[in-house]
Amino acid sequence: MEATTATVVRSSICSSRPSNCHVRSGISTSTRPDSVGFGSIFRFSNRQYASISIPKPGHRRVAFGSRRGSVVRARLSSSESSDSSSMIAPLRLESPVGQFLSQILISHPHLVPAAVEKQLEQLQTDRDTEKQKEEPSASGTDLVLYRRIAEVKENERRKALEEILYALVVQKFMDANISMVPSITPDPSGHVDAWSREDEKLEQLHSPEAYEMIQNHLALILGSRSGDSTSVAQISKLRVGQVYAASVMYGYFLKRVDQRFQLEKAMKILPSVADEEEINIQQGFMEDTRPRGGGDYSQNMYHPEVSSWPGSGISPGGFGSGIKASRLRTYVMSFDGETLQRYATIRSKETISIIEKHTEALFGRPEIVITPEGTVDSSKDELIKISFGGLKRLVLEAVTFGSFLWEVESYVDSRYHFV
């Protein structure tokens, strides 16, 4: 499948080498000329995605894979079934395969890998069968109908594959005993961050070198408030959604380069980078992350100018404080332009679709009006109240989600090639 480049905002590792950076920002217009999405890749459908919730009690008969597969009876406990508000992820899976995996995630999450294996085998069988079929020799209506049926089946397989990937990501959060943030819904006072704080668990899922990069990412977003978890800011919901989506893609990229770094580290073949080069990189990095004049935040989606957020109380001079040198970042800076572009590319359309749908499930569909002058009319943008601790929790989850997404994409591709 043709790779798709994720158009994220400029990451911290690109700031001092703009000529080699292919990860960029921007709120792009959607198919409607008067509205925009979360970012360049975020053009959502009109569907609404509810949370995965506990089904009614009783026995469910579910089969792994094909009709001839073995059968498992999943029984839900009374405590699970009585709590209709319980959820494990904000996005509802809609395909038959996705709904089946949702039931397994709720009742028997340890069976998800086996269920996924069977579903991938079935997808592979279906795809092989389609390839072996020959197009009818007849032309006209019969040929058009044949191709349309084949296209529908391919779309069904692609959706099933997306939801398999998403279910595996959710299972990784469950294995780590981490509750995912539910759909962002303000309470009567406008606050949204009533979810549990699980920062330490999220931090422990990353290597020490990767977490250094994540700390820099957090420092660029939170600025001088990175250590303040209680203060509350009133922030654009769209802006928070942009930061979340970009952080997912940053986590995907970070896991990708960290895997290579850890392998070369274990093999003792890491390139040596002079201390002077690291100092020069760091100085250029600090210069590039300082807020600039003007109110166009579309160029700062990844490292938002939080000093301009209402109620943030952050002074421009404090933005970007606390940035530290990172060995992994120095390693990434040693990449040539072609390698850096390849690592900054999200490899599959399915992965990009998951990021779009998951972000929409969390934050809703953004509707921002473009004025005749071409500027963004944010007068109707919803404002939410969120603590800096809550914002940190969101970003940490997003980076971890992206990291898990890279892992499951690689795992599934090894069994059902789609990348």
Please state the rounded mean pLDDT for residues 376-385.
Answer: 80
Please state the rounded mean pLDDT for residues 106-111.
Answer: 94
Please state the rounded mean pLDDT for residues 105-118.
Answer: 95
| pLDDT for the residue numbered 367 | 76
| pLDDT for the residue numbered 156 | 96
| pLDDT for the residue numbered 273 | 55
b/e code 27-36 from CB counts within 10 Å (16+ = b): bebbeeeeeb
| pLDDT for the residue numbered 229 | 85
Higher pLDDT, 13 or 164: 164
| pLDDT for the residue numbered 155 | 94
Most confident region among 89-93, 367-371, 375-379 by mean pLDDT? 89-93
Higher pLDDT, 131 or 385: 385
Q: In this model, does residue 176 exceed pLDDT 80? A: yes
| pLDDT for the residue numbered 84 | 29
Q: In this model, does residue 301 exceed pLDDT 50? A: no
Q: In this model, does residue 45 exceed pLDDT 80? A: no
Strands (E), 285-419: 369-370, 376-377, 383-387
Weakest-pLDDT range from 110-119, 297-306, 346-355, 369-378: 297-306
In the chain, % of residues over pLDDT 90: 47
Q: Coil, strand or helix: which one is 358?
A: helix
**pLDDT grade, residue 279 (50/70/90)?**
very low
Q: Coil, strand or helix: which one is 67?
A: coil
Q: Is the separation of the CB atoms in 12 and 285 below 8 Å? A: yes
Q: Coil, strand or helix: which one is 140?
A: coil
Q: Between β-strands 369-370 and 59-63, what pairing exists: parallel, antiparallel or unpaired?
A: unpaired
